[in-house]
Homo-oligomer: A and B are copies of this chain.
């Protein structure tokens, strides 16, 4: 089976072709410019590729409520030209195949649950910590949409006592994204995160913030695995510090073996590496194909 996958990120789009085993056989990427250019590149890539379905995981906010009139639209975003853009409908004009549609982070959570670090589990939460912070939620075997979709990058952590940086979020100042995304690291310390030594105090502070978000996630959602991805998490020293923070915050309250005795296998890196969102989009495509097959079979 040939399934198309589209990962729409804040700085670039990645398109790929894969199969139902999660293998990406071909890929291409291009910058996230205005939607006309991006859509032309996407359509050009998939033309004559004979994909049987396409899965899309993209930056938001987007409308993922199938009952909504604007299902498949990008909603309100500062990205030029993208606000109110009918993404799915535009794609459907060129490709009459089943399509899956969700946020990039929900796609990543789903990809990890199907083929990655949460394979076989019916819940996981995926954080991406990079240019921004996003959270995808897979719970009781379903991606969480609810009213819109989770926007967990903007929860409000307690300030680290040594942190004098005001925070970079235009909406909230010192929310999680405002304090702990890549650009905030750079603004606070004056150099890119990747240039800070592994034992720089920046990482303990970073773990303090991400650890709080993970703690809130455990307490509110009780997921079976938590996966931390994104560029900032390439810093290998960070994951053990975050696990420590979570243990310190919970202080033995949640008496579950996975957390108390096995946290190294509970809070983990993506099993799919930096391909989580693209593979997840592929998984959304496979799911859309299966659903449409069932509908056809049932008449």
Residues in chain A within 8 A of chain B (CB atoms): 61, 75-76, 123, 135, 137, 139-159, 171-172, 212, 215-224, 249-256, 258-259
Specify which chain B residues have a CB less than 8 angstroms from the CB of A218 in the assembled complex. 147
In the bound complex, do residue A144 and residue B155 qualify as a contact, i.e. CB atoms below 8 Å apart?
no
Known contacts being A146-B123, A146-B222, A147-B222, is A171 close to B251, with CB within 8 Å? yes
Known contacts being A76-B255, A135-B220, A156-B249, is A140 close to B150, with CB within 8 Å? no
Specify which chain B residues have a CB less than 8 angstroms from the CB of A250 in the assembled complex. 171
The complex places the Cα of A220 from the Cα of B219 at a distance, in Å, of: 11
In the bound complex, do residue B172 and residue A253 qualify as a contact, i.e. CB atoms below 8 Å apart?
yes
| Of the residues B146, B172, B253, contact of A251 by C-beta under 8 Å | B172
Closest residue to A146 on the B side, CB-wise?
B222
Closest residue to A135 on the B side, CB-wise?
B220
SS class, residues of chain A in contact with chain B:
loop
Specify which chain B residues have a CB less than 8 angstroms from the CB of A147 in the assembled complex. 123, 218, 222-224, 256, 258-259
Known contacts being A146-B223, A220-B221, is A255 close to B156, with CB within 8 Å? no
In the bound complex, do residue A155 and residue B221 qualify as a contact, i.e. CB atoms below 8 Å apart?
no
What's the minimum C-beta distance from A265 to chain B, rounded to whole angstroms? 12
In the bound complex, do residue B75 and residue A148 qualify as a contact, i.e. CB atoms below 8 Å apart?
no
What's the minimum C-beta distance from A31 to chain B, rounded to whole angstroms? 26
In the bound complex, do residue B256 and residue A219 qualify as a contact, i.e. CB atoms below 8 Å apart?
no
The complex places the Cα of A222 from the Cα of B144 at a distance, in Å, of: 8
| Copies of the polypeptide in the assembly | 2
Specify which chain B residues have a CB less than 8 angstroms from the CB of A255 in the assembled complex. 61, 75-76
In the bound complex, do residue B146 and residue A220 qualify as a contact, i.e. CB atoms below 8 Å apart?
no
Inter-chain pairs besides A139-B139, A171-B251, A172-B251, 13 sampled, C-beta below 8 Å: A75-B255, A123-B147, A135-B220, A139-B140, A139-B144, A140-B144, A144-B221, A147-B223, A147-B224, A157-B158, A172-B249, A172-B253, A217-B220
In the bound complex, do residue B142 and residue A142 qualify as a contact, i.e. CB atoms below 8 Å apart?
yes
In the bound complex, do residue B146 and residue A139 qualify as a contact, i.e. CB atoms below 8 Å apart?
yes
Known contacts being A139-B139, A144-B140, is A154 close to B223, with CB within 8 Å? no
Q: What are 23 of the A-B contact pairs (CB < 8 Å)? A: A75-B255, A76-B255, A139-B144, A144-B221, A146-B223, A147-B223, A147-B258, A148-B256, A150-B219, A151-B222, A151-B253, A151-B254, A153-B219, A154-B219, A155-B215, A156-B212, A171-B250, A171-B251, A172-B249, A172-B251, A216-B216, A217-B220, A221-B221
What's the minimum C-beta distance from A208 to chain B, rounded to whole angstroms? 11
Closest residue to A169 on the B side, CB-wise?
B253
Specify which chain B residues have a CB less than 8 angstroms from the CB of A75 in the assembled complex. 255
Specify which chain B residues have a CB less than 8 angstroms from the CB of A216 in the assembled complex. 155-156, 216, 220
What's the minimum C-beta distance from A263 to chain B, rounded to whole angstroms? 12
In the bound complex, do residue A222 and residue B158 qualify as a contact, i.e. CB atoms below 8 Å apart?
no
The complex places the Cα of A153 from the Cα of B216 at a distance, in Å, of: 10
Closest residue to A252 on the B side, CB-wise?
B171
